[in-house]
Amino acid sequence: MSGYSEDQWADQAKRFFKAELKRADVTYDDLAARLSKIGLSETKASVANKISRGTFSAAFLLAS
């Protein structure tokens, strides 16, 4: 994996995140609701955008 470009790392992050959501049977709506419960204002659309870009923050990843 060394030598990956930033775009390749973003793609890896996106695929990892999607796989973990699927494994946990959590939808984007579910995730947005869960994040809102802990004080992070996210919507289904904002979650989808962050994940599709693969460039979400470490804080978003950990909170998720």
Q: What is the pLDDT of residue 42?
A: 93
Cα separation, 54 vs 31, whole angstroms: 16
Mean pLDDT per block of 10 residues along the chain (64 residues) reads: 84 94 97 95 94 90 93
pLDDT at site 55:
85
For the entire predicted model, the pTM comes to 0.83
Rg (CA), the chain: 12
Please state the domain extents for the chain. Answer: 27-64
